[in-house]
Amino acid sequence: MDGNRRYARGKGKLVQEGHGDGYLALRRVLEICLRLNIRCVSVYAFAIDNFKRPQEEVTALMQLAESKLMELCSHGDLLQEYGVKLNVIGRRSLFPESVQAAVRKAEELTEGNNRSILNVCMPYSSRDEITTAVEDCIREVLAPANDFMSNDPIEEISEDTINSHLMSVKQGSPPLDILVRTSGVKRLSDFMLWQCCENTQLHFSNTYWPDFGLFDFVPIILEWQRSVWFRRQDVWLRDSHSRNR
């Protein structure tokens, strides 16, 4: 969700106002996703490196996170209306205690929802998620209670093992189909690097995140549906060719 600050500067607004408008865009796009029966949405809300930003901006973002988490999960609001389970993915211990408490409360309020998943990644980096998954795998195989076939327990760690220990996967997230970055910047910036390495469609939109909406998003979904249809046709043609040989 990139471009809040440039959007704010272009509109003559404070940076904090740009982030506030970015939250409204999140609500707008999330509702579009839920109406389209998209099962899982993950948003990059705050990077670990964002703590290096000016203290005034970081403080405003922490206050925004605390208040909007509770708003999203309150009775009758968006997540409850659509049965969405909220997960906060990242190194949450870096948050102030008040934000940590809001995270715990928000997750508790939605833990019984099972129609869709919203992963709010904060404070997050993909390298940290992968590192944590590898560390968890190592601790697991070296635990005294484990009895493995191999003489070297490290050999028990595979790509699938690491994948199953990723924070997002542990919360029930399916494979990543589409990754969208707004604001015209064409880089992944340490977001879901493992998840998007295979069969993920990447889209880079020139629209700043606070302006992003239906007319930006629907063409992306249609392009993904088109690519899925062609992949299925390709599989059908290959299978048909094999049977006729």
| DSSP-based three-state secondary structure for 57 | helix
User: In this structure, which amino acid lies at residue 214?
Assistant: L
Beta-carbon contacts of residue 61 (< 8 Å; ≥ 6 apart): 19, 46, 50
Chain centroid to Cα 229, Å, comes to: 25
User: In this structure, which amino acid lies at residue 129?
Assistant: E
User: In this structure, which amino acid lies at residue 45?
Assistant: A
Active site residue 50: yes
How far apart, in whole angstroms, are the C-alpha atoms of residue 15 and residue 21? 10
Q: Which of 21, 49, 50, 216 is catalytic?
A: 50
179 neighbors 44 (Cβ within 8 angstroms): no
End-to-end Cα spacing for the chain: 49
Do the strands 40-44 and 201-204 form a parallel or antiparallel pair, or are they unpaired?
unpaired
Active site residue 136: no
Q: Which of 2, 4, 21, 119 is catalytic?
A: 2
Catalytic annotation, residues: 2, 50
